[in-house]
Structure 1
Amino acid sequence: MNRTCNQCQAEMIKDCKVSVEYDVSGISISQKRKGLFNSVSAKTKASVCPNCGFVALYIDEYEKFNK
């Protein structure tokens, strides 16, 4: 899926790695559901606009959160 910058409408560069300084695991998104051991999580990726520098975070496994 192509990503378009919200600021200047340019095509963004996808699959950039997101990491927090001094933490090699980066940022992950998680959702707790009902029941024991019934949670879902995904690693965060970023897309960067080469035109204006706008950064957008996203996950590839978004279907898992829609249950």
Structure 2
Amino acid sequence: MRKCIRCGTAMVEDCELVIWGFGSEYIQIKYDKKKRAFSGDLGTPKAAVCPNCGEVSMYVENTSKLKE
């Protein structure tokens, strides 16, 4: 369960993220700190929405590639 960073309310998860004008539905993260680099497909991004204040949080479910 995700909690809203603004008001602490339980968020509605697993919402579809639609970005107009872009053809990609994947997030690519590049990280280079002391040559610990990651670049790859993390899957389809999802969104969580707070029913109380409207805060939106984007996330990916499979973070195992970031831990390698």
TM-score, normalising length from structure 2? 0.72
Percentage of matched positions with identical amino acids: 32
Aligned equivalent of 2:35: none
TM-score, normalising length from structure 1? 0.73
Matches within 5 A, 1:1-67: 2-23=1-22, 25-31=24-30, 39-42=39-42, 43-67=44-68
Paired residues in the alignment total 63
Aligned amino acid, residue 50 of structure 1: P
In structure 2, the gaps of 5 or more residues are 32-38
Once residues 19 and 26 of structure 2 are traced to their aligned partners in structure 1, the CA distance between those partners, rounded to angstroms, is 7
